[in-house]
Amino acid sequence: MKVAVVGQGYVGLPLAIAAAESGYEVVGIDTNESLVATLSKGISPIGDISDTEVAKVISSNKYTATTDFSEISTAEIVVVCVPTPLDSDRRPDLSFVESAFKEIAKHLSDGALVINESTVAPGTTRSLIARILETSGKSFDLAYSPERIDPANKTWNVRNTPKLVAGLTDKATERAMKFYGAFVETLTPGTSIEVIETAKLLENSFRLINISFINEIAQFCNTLGIDAREVIEAAATKPYGFMPFYPSAGVGGHCIPVDPMYLADKAMEIGTPSKFIELAAEVNQGLPQYFTKIASNLIGGLADKKILLVGVAYKPGVADTRESPAIDLIKVLRESGAFVSWHDDLVVHWNNENSTAISDQYDLAILVNPHPHCDLTLLGQTPVLNTRGGN
């Protein structure tokens, strides 16, 4: 059975490799020619998938990468894993989703199963995606199964992370369950696509709200002169009713700062409140100003001071800078007159700048998302502001 996976990034590639390893004939489709060329050489562009894994499925003729959407015409299953970011007004941007499904509609084979894994607001799969696919003039089954990828997580992956599945019809649900059942250990069907669309948004809205709350608690602890992480770890000894979250310079990545805005936007559309989400977003958007003020107090002002920011990726252990809290923090620091350099040996090149070596030649070092292998001893006696809490 041939499967086309549209989008070969942090979500699509692990899915494509897992499907290929389970026996499906998989074609990975992406509009990024450079990415496709890299994959075709057996080289993985992401840390969670090794070069060996890519090369193995290529050599076994179970996986190919291409920019050619016409490959969909011979695929019995099409899975879409494309970005769903926010626009400049922090509203849902469905341009990648619309573009992908319009291309799919041009080449869809009769009776194909189409699965969307990209995050969308409740009702989007039924109203927007189904409508686009109907322009193909072909019969199809449509399902939604949101991605649950956590880059650099060594414990949870495509195979062992429980997966939610729902189709527009019982038949679509059954077909999607059978597809994923070949390589995913635990599957949970939903009674409707809207239930699963909402569940996906709830997962990350829950995280945004709790991280925002902890970031406020961290500010409280800082004012008291106590260690926020020690407070959290003490509370976490309670065996029920508490889940530890940890402070940061702000939320980042492709999910936590984005998905809740899809839920808030839908809430606005149907006239229901989303005050917790709006307040949580406000708290996190204020963190660059907060840490800039702390930095200024630590070294007696920021004008003409040399600052090294460590870790511009959105989380330790990955090279992804999407929605990274470092972006706005660097901007505010520079607006305050500081000369800001950054170190991140996984990102290396970002924002037309290059990573700078860690050294003791700075007035202040700010730890945003240092990678596990960072040698912070190279800072010497440089004052350190740890946005993640702790000493």
For the chain, domain boundaries: 2-191, 227-386
State how far the Cα of 9 lies from the Cα of 83, in Å rounded to an integer.
9
Are the C-beta atoms of 130 and 168 separated by less than 8 Å?
yes
Residue with tokens 């050489």: 41
pLDDT greater than 80 at residue 390 = no
| Run of H or E residues at 384 | strand 384-386
Considering only the C-alpha atoms of the chain, give the largest distance between any 2 of them, rounded to a whole number of Å.
Answer: 69
Q: Is 255 a catalytic residue?
A: yes
Per-residue model confidence (pLDDT) at position 268 = 95
- Residue type at position 136: S
Residue 27: name the closest of 53, 63, 73, 75 by CA: 63
Class of domain 2-191: alpha beta
Per-residue model confidence (pLDDT) at position 389 = 85
Q: How many residues does the chain have?
A: 391
CATH superfamily of 227-386: NAD(P)-binding Rossmann-like Domain (3.40.50.720)
pTM over 0.75: yes
pLDDT greater than 70 at residue 391 = no
Residue 4: name the closest of 61, 59, 68 by CA: 68
Using the CB atoms, write b or e for 15-40: b if 16+ within 10 Å.
bbbbbbbbebbbbbbbbeeebbebbe
Per-residue model confidence (pLDDT) at position 254 = 85
| Token pair for 155 | 């414990």
pLDDT greater than 70 at residue 81 = yes
CA distances from 261 to 272, 279, 363 (A): 14, 12, 37
Model confidence at 53, pLDDT cuts 50, 70, 90, reads: very high
Mean model confidence pLDDT for the chain: 96
Per-residue model confidence (pLDDT) at position 386 = 96
- Residue type at position 51: D
Exactly one of 81, 221, 255, 374 is catalytic; which is it? 255
Q: What is the mean pLDDT of residues 322-346?
A: 96
Q: What is the mean pLDDT of residues 320-339?
A: 96
Q: Do domains 2-191 and 227-386 have the same CATH topology?
A: yes
